Amino acid sequence: MVAKNLPAAAGLLRRLLLSSRRRSYSSAAAFVAEEPSPPSPAPADGGEEGIISMKGVRISGRPLYMDMQATTPVDPRVLDAMLPYNLSRFGNPHSRTHLYGWESDEAVESARSQVAAVIGANPKEIFFTSGATESNNISVKGVMHFYRDKKRHVITTQTEHKCVLDSCRHLQQEGFDVTYLPVRPDGLVDLDQLASAIRPDTGLVSIMAVNNEIGVVQPLEDIGRICKEKGVPFHTDAAQAVGKIPIDVDRMGIGLMSLSGHKIYGPKGVGALYLRRRPRIRVEAQMSGGGQERGIRSGTVPTPLVVGFGKACEVAIKEMDYDGRRIQALQDRLLKGIKEKLDGVVVNGSVEHRYAGNLNLSFAYVEGESLLMGLKEVAVSSGSACTSASLEPSYVLRALGVDEDMAHTSIRFGIGRFTTEAEIDKAIELTVKQVEKLREMSPLYEMVKEGIDIKSIQWAQH
Amino acid sequence: MLRAAGKRLLGAGLGYRASPDAVVTAGAARGYHERVVDHYNNPRNVGSFDKNDPTVGTGLVGAPACGDVMKLQIKVDKETGKIVDACFKTFGCGSAIASSSVATEWVKGKQMEDVVSIKNTEIAKHLSLPPVKLHCSMLAEDAIKAAVRDYEAKKANVNGSKEASVGTAEKAANA
């Protein structure tokens, strides 16, 4: 009887989702057209119609979303795939004694194949984890712990994600040696420097594929070749790259890779670790338990999340080409629109070697946090979500050698599969308006207009 | 002068850098007090006076590399020593803009000797600034004092006293 009601429930859910989908994926509509109806369910809806009040900020309607590096919405096709595994097919994939377990196990294995396909790997080389942070931890700490007797040295870059840097710090405390390679002003790693940094006791090279803050794409193939020549495993954090740019673990000589579900329109809380079988790379597990995922990552595999992740990868393969061209066009539109109306706009990081969905801009003479405060109707961030709480300028931009005053002025615009042209246009309009307002208020802009060189002034450093 | 202000701020700056926990807490409570939002959205007295006008005092404090630069100007009635007008321009976060906006409101119509006693803690309390933003209010306090000092130096200079000219020259170079 319960089973009989389930399809009806699913149908209802789908209808509900469809009705809210239109709104959430083209949030610009909330500004472009004056819709009388209140916005889709927001926990902080105020008393007045359409006014959202949260954390002291009041805005009319939900902001348009341009923070795709922080996370992406779940693709409706992904959600459709996930729903049955929450309702009727809820079995534990590790249950060996009944149908519930068998069907869940089958779903997990098919998801494993889908994930493997997006990076050109064998399904047996994919291990599900809670996300890229966990995969990075297993990769960095796991490899070094496993080979600790012979290998005492790790190479990474100064612009890695915090979880790689923090894992490296942890290793340093245990007595390992870590080299943090500097990057060139365009954000790319210097290959000669990498080659000369490799030592006989180097156990791992960890360099991210696409930078989360500035979107630059590292020369993975060249790095992989250098590592192969020197016989060092190459780990890459590809959370921002998988499903967006073509990745092939064999062609790029990748030994370990971290993947994330929620950066590619999949669910949050799931990711994967790619671990090469030939030549075999071994890691020490970071989690003790029932030995699931062949002992690499104990803990029940979350079937619905994994199914969603797999579906997201399948969709990504299908859409990569189309999305890529569309996002590139939207990026061009955004950059052109802003540069047409404002001077003193600088793109941080390489423009050629860049994932188009990430546009990190610095606006001279305007401070980033105040710009963000004025851009409440556009959900953007000044860098990574992890570090947006601190007042320090981004460590990634500092590693690029961006002037400190310019590093304080950066905004990251994230463009994704569901971003519309109307949203881009609205973002341009709001950004230009806000930057102009703040420049009108900026003593630095005034000085520059008067012909005073700001750099020649002796500022009190504090 | 700017250096002295910077050194004092260093103490406050190190305060939040020393404890990563504090930074996380500040992030969680990202919301601004409504007075900060109000001053940010409708800043009072934005603008500039002619800095060469003898009745105008200019205070410029902070540094671009630190993410805050505040310029506060006062216009003083020569006879009475009363601040008849004030304006500001600020490069900085919302709290810095709000602090300077509040500062201009508070100094207007006051006697010069009264405004130098305005404390950063009063501004911080008025705007409910979180600990990591206290330096914004300190900068506002410094800006008021710097503006008053600049005016007095100019006045002394006009009156023929050469001693103050060093301070004015330094100010002119900075502004």
Q: Do B92 and A391 touch (CB under 8 A)?
A: no
**Average pLDDT of span A231-243:** 97
pLDDT at A325: 97
Does A18 reach chain B within 8 Å, measured CB to CB? no
CATH classification at residue B134: 3.90.1010.10
pLDDT at A383: 63
> For residue B67, which residues of chain A lie inside 8 Å, CB to CB?
367, 369, 391, 393, 405, 408
Does A392 reach chain B within 8 Å, measured CB to CB? yes
**Average pLDDT of span B51-65:** 90
Q: Do A444 and B67 touch (CB under 8 A)?
A: no
Q: Do A389 and B3 touch (CB under 8 A)?
A: no
pLDDT at B160: 62
Q: Give the chain A residue whose CA is nearest to the CA of B36.
A: A56
Q: Give the chain B residue whose CA is nearest to the CA of A373.
A: B94
Class of the CATH-defined domain A79-315: alpha beta
Q: Do A459 and B2 touch (CB under 8 A)?
A: yes
Residue A174 reports pLDDT greater than 70? yes
pLDDT at A241: 97
Query: Which residues have a Cβ under 8 Å from the Cβ of A262 and sit 6 or more positions away?
Result: A71, A72, A131, A268, A269, A270
Task: Pick A442's closest partner by Cβ from B13, B65, B89.
Answer: B89
* Domain hosting residue B142, numbered range: 2-174
- Give the distance from residue B86's alpha carbon to the nearest chain A alpha carbon, in angstroms: 14
Q: Do B60 and A446 touch (CB under 8 A)?
A: no
Local confidence band at A11 (pLDDT 50, 70, 90 cut-offs)? low
Please indicate whether residue A117 or residue B164 has the higher confidence score (pLDDT). A117
For residue A268, give the H/E element and its range: none
Q: Give the chain A residue whose CA is nearest to the CA of B67.
A: A408
Does A433 reach chain B within 8 Å, measured CB to CB? no
Contact A82, A211 (CB under 8 A): no
Residue A412 reports pLDDT greater than 80? yes
Closest alpha carbon to A273 in A304, A244, A249: A249
Q: Tell me, what's the ipTM?
A: 0.73
Q: Where are the domains of chain A?
A: 2-65, 79-315
Q: Give the chain A residue whose CA is nearest to the CA of B59.
A: A443
Q: How many angstroms separate the CA atoms of A179 and A175, rounded?
A: 13
Q: Do A392 and B17 touch (CB under 8 A)?
A: yes
> For residue A454, which residues of chain B lie inside 8 Å, CB to CB?
64
pLDDT at A255: 97
3-state secondary structure of A116: helix
**Number of structural domains, chain B?**
1
pLDDT at A14: 52
Q: Do A367 and B68 touch (CB under 8 A)?
A: yes
Decide: residue A101, CB within 10 A, 0-12 exposed, 13-18 middle, 19+ buried: middle
Active site residue A163: no
Q: Best mutation site among A59, A461, A462 for testing chain B: the one with the most B CBs within 10 Å?
A: A462
Percent of chain A past pLDDT 70, that is, above it, reads 86
> For residue B33, which residues of chain A lie inside 8 Å, CB to CB?
56
Which of A145-159, B33-47, B48-62 tops mean pLDDT? A145-159
Q: Residue A15: how many CB atoms within 10 A of its CB? A: 10
Chain-centroid distance of CA A435 in Å reads 26
Task: Flag the least confident range among A163-177, A190-204, B29-43, B65-79.
Answer: B29-43
Residue B26 reports pLDDT greater than 70? no
Percent of chain A past pLDDT 90, that is, above it, reads 75
Residue B17 reports pLDDT greater than 70? no
3-state secondary structure of A127: strand
Query: Which residues have a Cβ under 8 Å from the Cβ of A71 and sit 6 or more positions away?
Result: A262, A263, A268
Local confidence band at A22 (pLDDT 50, 70, 90 cut-offs)? very low
